[in-house]
């Protein structure tokens, strides 16, 4: 079964908005064995939208259309769907009631503009949107299904999960497609590919291995291309992949490295804190994005200025004068300092030159020290990273995860 | 002139990678008056790529193709371009030299797999990639131009800026298209649209107004649809838009609210710090993302646990016991506490319930207090926000910007 996504909106083409919806939809559909064969982004113009609908329906049975359902003049999706499905708009009283309730709750006045969101193509099945004002629509013709959704990410997620997927599962009697992911850190894609050359050569036709590199991390995803792979056959090859890579695997499963680490710390009741200079709180912010983390995370310090490193973390002025703030001793003292300040088991520090300015011959942009103090056992790692400021920060964060895995001996699953 | 973007890669369709490149390319091209009419994402399959190239070249003179240039087996863009342009791969010695230099610098061994990146379609002009291993390619046929670029974001930015745009400007004698943006905060899109109804009705045909909403922020973008708008006519209407909205404008220009605030603080030499509970360092992390900010930003505290609020910020235990950590007095004391701790002029605090858990009838998810202490003048604002955890954090951050603008009396430009 083939599906396509059409996103509507000048803002996507002009680049004022980054489309995160369709990646999310792609993941959800892949798990159902529906592959998104194509995504097309078109402007807020009727001819472009009609053309895209026509072209997509020629090849694909399922079409997910997002965007263009707002209350303003440049949102023309519903009008265009009426043209395409040859019908009129009609007010849905259930949506009117929902809008009245929603606006009353938020203490806002319901304008006639807002009420227009209840006008839907008369042949459409309404997909109630509990988290927003624009409902989704399920339309059908002889070629297949067209689902129209708003563009706001959490409304898309809500409608796909609660309205679209259950209907698709029922209609097409769907089953999940086998796929598993593992993550490596600190190994370049080309080295990995070299190491896995023989593994890939001996992979059956109906299995595929994909490399997804980003910031010194490579995700390796093994996927069953169709339904004729048994679970034990699939697991055999995934185990083979695991043994090929051994200790170089960071974790098994598709998750952010920080999420993997945070879950381990939470599960093992290891309290932690960070003292961050060059990463400016990025590491803490990533680590604390899992539910319940407050049980092991009291807080963190962003220590940008040298005075803060001295005053708050107890790094002696003499150390900064002799070695500089970007140095092994300073990183070590920051890690131990935050550990005792926050009374935690694990102290993590970063100090480095994220650039674009501030680099010297001796201490170039990309030089970063990471300190880890776990129950008094201290390790400081010197990194030499490449890329722009944002990349150096993200690569430092991934390196922190790798260092923690090694220093705390965290198993890959 | 019409341009399209084709992105290649299963990872985009399966949703393992979010495409940020094409939004960025869209912005750059819009400034040149080239509108991206369509974006298509296709899988790593030759037939799909060939079909997309053919369809796009039927409508558009300029095609930007990204992705599929990596060293692994699933990257087939170059091979497909050879089929499409009916030519063979040929090694480019300049790319070989670049690869040898790059690998030597990083102390890595150049594998035969890496060397394959120097093999390019023989009719292509090489676009040297100074920041990565895969060069870009500029190809032409009777229908127009096809530019093939790698998928890694900073490599795309580098090649578009330094190789593609200069060539396009020269070839098509391009001029910049007029467009201006202003930003409002805290006003719903439908209310704005109502207020601007008459303004929009009287807008000339060749000008367009777009609404770009996100997280209690709406960007309003006025654009000249073609070249026959004079600068003074354009400015007349933009000024009219400004006077329609008056004090409700947050800032004029297209920038992140935090970037606007940070620039003001830096320019006016106002030192600042944050003490963040529910936002977990997000506000500090956003504010510090401009170059040179360290001159006014010594650091910040993430104060998640109550003990840290007490111990590090001097919030008395009695205040937390009587009013709770999510309360007006606590937010005020956190703002004043971080101000004196970090010895800065401006202290900012957040404390609230970001959810999804932790809400009660009295203190529901979305209840957030923001404290601002500017040279001893304290204001605490109570917010009642909606959405999921991430949205509440982002909305709090936007609210902080609005509160700072009002409390510090920051002009919109």
The model's pLDDT over B327-347, given as tens digits with 9 standing for 90+, comes to 999 999 999 999 999 999 999
Residues of chain A with pLDDT under 70: 73-74, 227
* Mean pLDDT score, B54-63: 96
Q: A304–B298: do the CB atoms touch at under 8 Å?
A: yes
* Per-residue pLDDT, A168: 95
Q: B13–A37: do the CB atoms touch at under 8 Å?
A: yes
Question: DSSP state, B296?
Answer: T
Q: What is the pLDDT of residues B24-51, one digit of tens each?
A: 999 889 888 898 999 999 999 999 999 9
* Per-residue pLDDT, A241: 97
Between B24, B200, B301, which is nearest A15 by CB? B24
B301 touches chain A (CB under 8 A): yes
* Per-residue pLDDT, B271: 98
Q: What is the dihedral of CA A355, A356, A361, A364, to 10 degrees?
A: 30
Structure tokens at A385: 């990273």
Cα distance between residue B31 and residue B177, in whole Å: 6
Cα distance between residue B87 and residue B140, in whole Å: 12
* Mean pLDDT score, B380-404: 93
Q: What angle do CA A358, A359, A365 make, to 5 degrees?
A: 110
Q: First and final CA of chain B: distance in angstroms?
A: 33
- pTM to 2 decimals? 0.80
Between B41, B304, B387, which is nearest A38 by CB? B41
Helical pair B77-85 and B46-59, crossing angle rounded to 10 deg: 50
Distance from CA of A75 to the nearest CA of B (A): 10
Tell me the CB-side half-sphere exposure of residue B69, using CA atoms within 13 A. 26
Between A26, A55, A302, which is nearest B300 by CB? A302
Helical pair B306-313 and B328-342, crossing angle rounded to 10 deg: 50
* Integer angstrom CA distances of residue A6 from A53, A151, B208: 8, 11, 23
A26 touches chain B (CB under 8 A): yes
Q: Cβ of A369: how many Cβ atoms within 10 Å? A: 25
Greatest alpha-carbon span in chain B: 79
* Per-residue pLDDT, B178: 87
* Per-residue pLDDT, A396: 96
Strands A144-149 and A136-141: antiparallel
ipTM score of complex: 0.78
Strands A35-42 and A89-91: unpaired
Q: What is the pLDDT of residues B87-145, one digit of tens each?
A: 999 999 999 999 999 999 888 889 888 999 999 999 999 999 998 899 999 999 999 99
Cα distance between residue A42 and residue A48, in whole Å: 6
Phi, psi of A331 (to 5 degrees): -60, -45
* Per-residue pLDDT, B291: 81
Cα dihedral B122, B125, B130, B135 sign: negative
Q: Is-contact A231 A240, C-beta < 8 A?
A: no
Q: A108–B35: do the CB atoms touch at under 8 Å?
A: no
SS3 labels along chain A:
CEEEEEEECHHHHCCCCCCCHHHHHHHHHHHCCCEEEEEEEECCCHHHHHHHHHHHHHHCCEEEEECCCCCCCCCCHHHHHHHHHCCCEEECHHHHHHHHHHHHHCCCCCCHHHHHHHEEECCCEEECCCCCCCCEEEEEECCEEEEEECCCHHHHHHHHHHHHHHHHHHHHCCCCCCEEEEEEECCCHHHHHHHCHHHHHCCCCCEEEEEEEECCEEEEEEEECCCCCCHHHHHHHHHHHHHHHHHHEEEECCCCHHHHHHHHHHHCCCCEEEEECCCCCHHHHHHCCCCCHHHCCCEEEEECCHHHHHHHHCCCHHHHHHHCCCCHHHHHHHHHHHHHHCCCCEEEEEEECCCCCCCCCCCCCCEEEEEEEECCEEEEEEEECCCCHHHHHHHHHHHHHHHHHHHCCCCCC
Q: A22–B40: do the CB atoms touch at under 8 Å?
A: no
- Chain B positions touching A301 (Cβ under 8 A) are 299-302
Cα dihedral B388, B394, B400, B401 sign: negative
Strands B125-127 and B207-214: unpaired
Contacting B residues, span 100-139, partner chain A, CB-CB under 8 Å: 106, 108, 111, 113-114
Structure tokens at A102: 């929603």
């Amino acid at each position: 079964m083939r599906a396509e996504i059409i996103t509507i909106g000048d803002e996507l083409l002009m680049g004022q908005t980054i489309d995160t919806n369709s990646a999310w939809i792609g993941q959800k559909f892949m798990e159902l064995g529906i592959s998104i064969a194509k995504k097309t982004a078109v402007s807020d113009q009727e001819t472009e939208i009609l053309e895209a609908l026509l072209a997509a329906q020629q090849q694909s049975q399922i079409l997910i259309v997002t965007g263009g359902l707002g209350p303003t003049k440049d949102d023309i999706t519903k009008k265009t769907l009426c043209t395409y499905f040859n019908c009129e708009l009609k007010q849905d009283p259930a949506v009117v009631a929902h809008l009245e309730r929603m606006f009353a709750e938020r203490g806002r006045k319901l304008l006639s503009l807002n009420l227009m969101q209840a006008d839907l193509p008369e042949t459409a099945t309404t997909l109630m949107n509990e988290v927003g004002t624009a409902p989704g629509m399920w339309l059908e013709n002889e070629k297949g299904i067209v689902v129209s959704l708003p563009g706001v990410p959490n409304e898309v997620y809500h409608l796909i999960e609660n309205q679209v997927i259950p209907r698709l599962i029922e209609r097409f009697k769907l089953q999940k497609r086998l796929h598993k992911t593992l993550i490596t850190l600190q190994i370049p894609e080309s080295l990995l590919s070299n190491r896995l050359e023989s593994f890939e050569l001996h992979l059956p036709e109906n299995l595929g291995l994909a490399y997804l590199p980003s910031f010194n991390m490579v995700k390796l995803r093994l996927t069953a291309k169709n339904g004729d792979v048994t679970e034990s056959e699939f697991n055999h090859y995934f185990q083979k992949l695991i043994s090929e890579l051994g200790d170089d695997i960071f974790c098994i499963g598709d998750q952010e490295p920080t999420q993997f680490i945070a879950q381990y710390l939470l599960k093992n009741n290891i309290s932690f804190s960070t003292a961050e200079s060059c990463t400016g709180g990025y590491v803490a912010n990533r680590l604390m994005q899992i539910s319940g983390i407050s049980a092991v995370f009291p807080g963190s310090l962003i220590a940008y200025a040298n005075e803060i490193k001295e005053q708050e973390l107890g790094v002696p002025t003499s150390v900064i004068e002799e070695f500089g703030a970007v140095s092994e001793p300073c990183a070590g003292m920051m890690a131990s300092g935050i550990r005792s300040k926050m009374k935690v088991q694990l102290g993590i520090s970063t100090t480095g030159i994220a650039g674009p300015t501030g680099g010297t011959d001796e201490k170039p942009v990309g030089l970063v020290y990471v300190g880890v103090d776990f129950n008094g056992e201290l390790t400081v790692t010197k990194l030499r990273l490449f890329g722009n400021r944002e990349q150096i920060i993200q690569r430092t964060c991934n390196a922190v995860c790798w260092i923690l895995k090694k220093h705390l001996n965290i198993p890959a699953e």
